[in-house]
Chain A
Amino acid sequence: MEKNNDKITITYREALRQGIRDALQNDERVFLMGEDVGRYGGAFAVSKGLLQEFGADRIMDVPLSESGFVGAGIGAAMTGMKPIVEVMTINFGLLPMDQIINNAATLQHMSGGQLQIPIVIRMGCGIGRQLAAQHSHSWEPFYAHVPGLIVLSVGTHEDARGMLRTALQSPDPVVIFEYTSMLNLEKEIPENSAAVNITEAKVLRTGKDLSIITYGTGVYKCLEAAAELATVGIDAEVIDLRVLRPLDEKTFLASVAKTHRVLVVEDAWRSISISSEISARIMEKVFYDLDAPVQRLCGVEVPIPYPLHLEEASVPQKNDIINAVKKMIRHD
């Protein structure tokens, strides 16, 4: 961590850790539970040191049973606590889906509004660490499909530190996706940045020629691509969706109405994805503002391969984004 006026340089991991620590300090009802979050300091060292600081009552190691401990978290939330449940990676996120969908997302409805489930479930996810097909999943679209959940995607360091705190204030269950390939990435953020909103998408770069809509690991890739495109005279707007459910369509529709062209970028498989939904809404609501068909860059629909060069080829990279944009603008 380096200080520079009002800004600090910080890793994505450290930003996440500060967010958790901040939440634990701010509200006694908050506790963290998950596999290896305590004595081991977290599978990705995100919760290192928290057990020593907050004690075993608030930093809980749990057995390898996602369905069990996520269910326990839901029970705790139902009875007045504010649990942060860590599902080590999204690849194990299929196991607690029954708890999350059938209980967390529906109990308020089933109880006629008597129960609220203010649980926050964090899941490490993403592609890019050579973990092969079974450990490189992008299940954001699965979760974003479910009414009753709030689904967040942490694409920037500011959100890594700020989203958790706001999520804990929500009376509804929140699923936060964090990207493990970005953990060591250093970025500069304002020193005092704290809570951020969890309702809006964010225009991270304004431009007039086309809108690039993305989330998660796509955010920094698209910003880098946009910076490079600017050197050849293409002025791209970059939007981080941030909230995958409920989608903040107002922000991206306004952008499309301004630029008239859209590229949607995501790591998840192409069919029935977040980008499918974005594309559909643009067609439904601002069709007459479109000057070209909506284009998408998504994960290739294969089990994600182990070899590095094939893994890289399976999701959109900076150069893919640059080429796709050039093709849209210059039709070459």
Chain B
Amino acid sequence: MIEFLMPSLGADMEAGTLIEWKKKPGDTVKRGDIIAEVETQKGLIEIEVFDEGIIGELLIPEGAKVPVGTALALINPSGIASEPEEEEKIPEKKPVALQPTEERILEPISLEKTEEIHTKASPFAKRIAFENQIDLSLIKGTGPEGAITKEDVEKTLAQRDITEKEKTQEVAVAPEKPGTVAESIRTAVAAAMSKSNREIPHYYLGKRIDMTNALTWLKEVNSKRTVKERLLPVVLLIKATAQSLTEFPDLNAIWDDGLQQKKDINIGFVVSLRSGGIIVPAIHQASLKNVDEIMEALNDIIPRARALKLRSSELSDSTVTITNIGDGGADTIFGVIYPPQVAIIGFGSISEQPFAQDGMLGIRSSIFVTLAGDHRATDGLTGSGFLVSLNKYLQNPESL
């Protein structure tokens, strides 16, 4: 039996509330499956499982708040547990014959009604049902053509809220008010940053890097792509950081009574939340991803971070952090290290600056890059070498 434990979703997390089990005893799980949802200071997080097997027993009831490291469930390990996935064959639809329609037909053209089982719901109704995890098939629509509308979903939601209120009153857990997510994120940021400033002796280094080559290369590459596939400059910054970290593994590490290098380079990328506060999802194995895959990862992770819908591994796995000011913002940012990491790289906004090169003064697009390092773990020489390496990669963007 393997014990499945309440994971730590960041250095500042002490306990979590188990909101919902997504699996039940007897269910087969494999690596990466979502096993439960846990409420933390950073919102509702889906917890992934890292073992393969069959769920033996659920030890903690829904609604209970338990410390990090508490056993939540028992899993029976199995070597070949994963069932062959059955692929459901979707019956091919008969193509609707295209017929010339006369302009004066103003009534909606009715297609063959082959989809009677399909629940009709307005896009907005579907959206709020999804956000509130309501099963649309249980709702009777009152809208046009029997479609489920916003009102229908809201009615169901109101009923559920009443029954849930009664339920949670029975459980002896203080229910977290929905309006306090922003506040609790603020508290989490405050705790982590205070710990950092209290315990980590920071040293700071900065380097101005000429971005002209990188931007020119990017422009060239993007000109051959559709708008959707275009790369942003930040992708190059992330990739160059990951590459440089392979040369300076001491910066891709944690400090826990000594330096522990990490094998994977999982770059935490600071995302500002509209409601205030920040959240730092990880881009896993950034050094092994190409620029397209990093762009894809960003497109996936940033909206989910803003919606507070991250997975546990994305919140807890980062090994180093990037904070990026973006267009038109401040020139320079000096980061505060996210413990137990040992470095944070800060990118200011890219702007045109007078730049001396080969005895000539020119106007070049440049960026001011900073490194804040943990002086217990590394010294300035390492940090300086890292920034020089970063510069090298950004001068040769085609190598990324």
Contact = CB atoms under 8 A, between A and B. Distances in A.
Contact of A291 (B103, B106, B125): B125
A166 B25 CA distance: 71
Contacts of A229: none
Nearest to A260: B124
Given A260-B150, A271-B103, A301-B103, A289 B124 contact: yes
B272 interface: no
B132 interface: no
Interface in B89-125: 103-104, 106, 122-125
Interface string A144-177: 0000000000000000000000000000000000
B143 interface: yes
Nearest to B106: A270
Contact of B124 (A291, A301, A328, A331): A291
- Max chain A C-beta neighbours (<10 A), residue from B103, B124, B127: B124
A258 to B, nearest CB: 11
B318 interface: no
Contacts of B126: 288
Given A260-B150, A301-B104, A289 B123 contact: yes
Interface in A260-299: 260, 270-271, 287-293
Contacts of A288: 123-124, 126-127
A291 B128 CA distance: 11
A331 B146 CA distance: 9
What band does the interface of chain B fall in when counting residues whose beta carbon is under 8 Å from A? 10 to 19
Nearest to A290: B123
B197 interface: no
B149 interface: yes
A292 B143 contact: yes
A278 B145 CA distance: 24
Contacts of B149: 291-292
A291 B104 contact: no
Contacts of B122: 260, 290-292
A287 to B, nearest CB: 5
- Max chain B C-beta neighbours (<10 A), residue from A287, A289, A331: A331
A271 B102 CA distance: 12
Contacts of B144: 292-293, 328, 331
A331 B103 contact: no
Contacts of A270: 106
Contacts of B150: 260, 291
B290 interface: no
B82 interface: no
A241 to B, nearest CB: 23
Contacts of A331: 142-144
A54 B143 CA distance: 61
Contacts of A287: 123
B125 to A, nearest CB: 6
Nearest to A289: B124
A290 B124 contact: yes
Interface string B127-159: 100000000000000111001011000000000
Contacts of B104: 301
Nearest to A287: B123
A303 to B, nearest CB: 13
A198 B387 CA distance: 50
Interface in B143-185: 143-144, 147, 149-150
B358 to A, nearest CB: 35
Contacts of A291: 122-125, 143, 149-150
Interface string A240-272: 000000000000000000001000000000110
B122 to A, nearest CB: 4
Contacts of A289: 123-124, 127
A239 to B, nearest CB: 19
A331 B125 CA distance: 16
Nearest to B145: A331
Contacts of A293: 144
A289 B149 CA distance: 11
A174 B313 CA distance: 56
Interface in A281-332: 287-293, 301, 328, 331
A271 B127 CA distance: 30
- Max chain B C-beta neighbours (<10 A), residue from A287, A292, A301, A328: A292
A260 to B, nearest CB: 5
A293 B147 CA distance: 11
A328 B143 CA distance: 9
Nearest to A298: B106
B127 to A, nearest CB: 5
A270 B106 CA distance: 9
A301 B101 CA distance: 14
A301 B144 CA distance: 25
B338 to A, nearest CB: 34
Interface in B44-77: none
A290 B104 CA distance: 27
B41 to A, nearest CB: 29
B180 to A, nearest CB: 25
Nearest to A296: B106
Interface string A39-62: 000000000000000000000000
Contacts of B125: 291
A288 B106 CA distance: 25
Nearest to B127: A288
B201 to A, nearest CB: 49
A93 B372 CA distance: 67
A288 B149 CA distance: 12
A299 to B, nearest CB: 12
Contacts of B143: 291-292, 331
Nearest to B152: A291
B150 to A, nearest CB: 4
Contacts of A292: 122, 143-144, 147, 149
Nearest to B104: A301
Contacts of A301: 103-104
A103 to B, nearest CB: 31
B204 to A, nearest CB: 42
A271 B143 CA distance: 26
Interface of B: 103-104, 106, 122-127, 142-144, 147, 149-150
5 contacts: A260-B122, A289-B124, A291-B143, A292-B144, A292-B149
Given A291-B143, A301-B104, A328-B144, 15 more contacts: A260-B122, A270-B106, A289-B124, A290-B122, A291-B123, A291-B124, A291-B125, A291-B149, A291-B150, A292-B122, A292-B149, A301-B103, A331-B142, A331-B143, A331-B144
Closest 6 CB pairs of A and B: A291-B124, A291-B150, A291-B122, A288-B127, A288-B123, A290-B123
